Amino acid sequence: MGQKQTILVLGKFNTTVLERLKPEFDLIHLVDGDSSKLDADAKPAIKAVINSIGVRLPNSLMDQLPNLEIISNFGVGYDGIDARYAAQKNIMVTNTPDVLTEEVADTALGLLINTVRELPRAQNHLLQGKWQQGGYPLSKLSLRERKVGIFGLGRIGKAIARRVEAFNLPVSYHNRSKAADVSYTYYPSLIELAEAVDTLILVAPASAETNHAVNKDVLAALGKNGVLINVGRGSLVDEKALIKALQDGVIAAAGLDVFEKEPHVPEELMQMENVVLLPHIASASELTRLNMSNLVIDNLLGWFGSGEVVTPVFETQTVTRKY
């Protein structure tokens, strides 16, 4: 590779995996992700950025790094990066799909089961010594006879759908366009999907088009037996509308792994008995996070080696390296 390239690491990252880079690269690691702390003298040397979970990479930072060639993003979602702007500046952006697909799908089904059968509350009933005074009340909801709709039938959505089918439940979906490789029922709008099902699982990416896609009308269409599960992005849901819908019995329950303003979670949600809340852990197993970390590094090694990356995002697929 010749002269060492400099890589800026923003946010927490697996330090053992970073060791793969040290023979060939100089590393600047800002663990808190605050790029304002970057020394101005170091900026011209930076050729790559590793962007970790929860870190936003502003366009202004791209402007300040005149020799930046690639942003290797940790995670499938890359809404913290303006990939179109990066493409205009001939900067490659990569993400980490596939390696977390099955883990997130597992979590989605676990969250659904916990939500409808109230398993966390049942465990607390036991741990608090209440079983001796009486058994845990029958759960108001069941997975049986449910109809499941998936918003976002990409890799993860399809993995969730396969699991739902294994529970002998029908699957429908809404995407921007109909998928050619599945036989599930397609609905051209989210509200039509909500009207047709009683269980809505969100896996869509964050974008201007999907922001608050689940609003009061969609929740009303889902109905009083409805269950909302979100393992996509918090911005997909109007949280104020969701809170009111849960309080007023417009829908029955919700299971949420993501929130609008993480790590802030509305107090109203934390006080409700008909919700299950997780701290954005859908992909958070040691095995899956290790695989994600290695893919981040593989993209960098490929770029600075052959000029090819493993997983470019759609917006930068045509970006090429200038030697």
Query: For 215-225, what is each residue's pLDDT tens digit?
Result: 999 999 999 99
How many CB atoms are located within 10 Å of the residue 242 CB?
Answer: 26
**116/52 same-domain check:** no
**116/205 same-domain check:** yes
Instruction: Give the pLDDT score at 323.
Output: 74
Can you tell me the mean pLDDT for 45-50?
A: 97
Q: Is residue 212 part of a domain?
A: yes
315/92 Cα distance (integer angstroms): 9
The domain in which residue 265 lies consists of 101-277
**111/170 same-domain check:** yes
**Residue pLDDT, tens place only, 191-208:** 999 999 999 999 999 999
Q: What is the CATH number of the domain that holds 163?
A: 3.40.50.720
- 8 Å CB contact between 160 and 112: no
Lookup: tokens for 86: 């990066």
Active-site amino acid positions: 233, 262, 280
Q: Is residue 181 part of a domain?
A: yes
**92/106 same-domain check:** no
**48/137 same-domain check:** no
Torsion of CA 251, 252, 255, 258, to 10 degrees: 20
Half-sphere exposure of 109 (CA within 13 A, CB side): 18
312/23 Cα distance (integer angstroms): 24
Lookup: tokens for 103: 């883990």
Torsion of CA 288, 290, 295, 298, to 10 degrees: -160
Is the Cα dihedral 174, 179, 181, 186 positive or negative? positive
Tokens 């490659």 identify what position?
92
Instruction: Give the pLDDT score at 2.
Output: 54
Does 179 score more than 90 pLDDT? yes
Percent of the chain with pLDDT over 70: 99
Can you tell me the mean pLDDT for 252-260?
A: 98
- 8 Å CB contact between 227 and 252: yes
Does 315 score more than 90 pLDDT? yes
Q: Is residue 294 part of a domain?
A: yes
Instruction: Give the pLDDT score at 4.
Output: 82
How many CB atoms are located within 10 Å of the residue 103 CB?
Answer: 21
Does 1 score more than 70 pLDDT? no
**91/113 same-domain check:** no
**92/105 same-domain check:** no
Per-residue pLDDT band for 64 (boundaries 50, 70, 90) equals very high
Instruction: Give the pLDDT score at 322.
Output: 83
- 8 Å CB contact between 221 and 195: yes
pTM for the structure as a whole: 0.94
Q: Is residue 167 part of a domain?
A: yes
Instruction: Give the pLDDT score at 210.
Output: 97
Does 276 score more than 70 pLDDT? yes
How many CB atoms are located within 10 Å of the residue 180 CB?
Answer: 5
**Residue pLDDT, tens place only, 85-133:** 999 999 999 999 999 999 999 999 999 999 999 999 999 999 999 999 9
Instruction: Give the pLDDT score at 236.
Output: 98
H/E stretch holding 200: strand 199-202
Q: Is residue 93 part of a domain?
A: yes
**166/255 same-domain check:** yes
Does 269 score more than 90 pLDDT? yes
Q: Kindly report the backbone phi and psi dihedral angles of residue 267, in degrees, each rounded to the nearest multiple of 5, phi listed first.
A: -55, -35
Q: What is the DSSP letter of 288?
A: H
Lookup: tokens for 234: 């918090």
Q: Is residue 180 part of a domain?
A: yes
Q: Is residue 321 part of a domain?
A: no
Q: Is residue 322 part of a domain?
A: no
**236/249 same-domain check:** yes
**205/186 same-domain check:** yes
149/201 Cα distance (integer angstroms): 6
Per-residue pLDDT band for 212 (boundaries 50, 70, 90) equals very high
- 8 Å CB contact between 82 and 136: no
Q: How many domains does the chain have?
A: 2
Mean pLDDT of the chain: 96
**264/299 same-domain check:** no
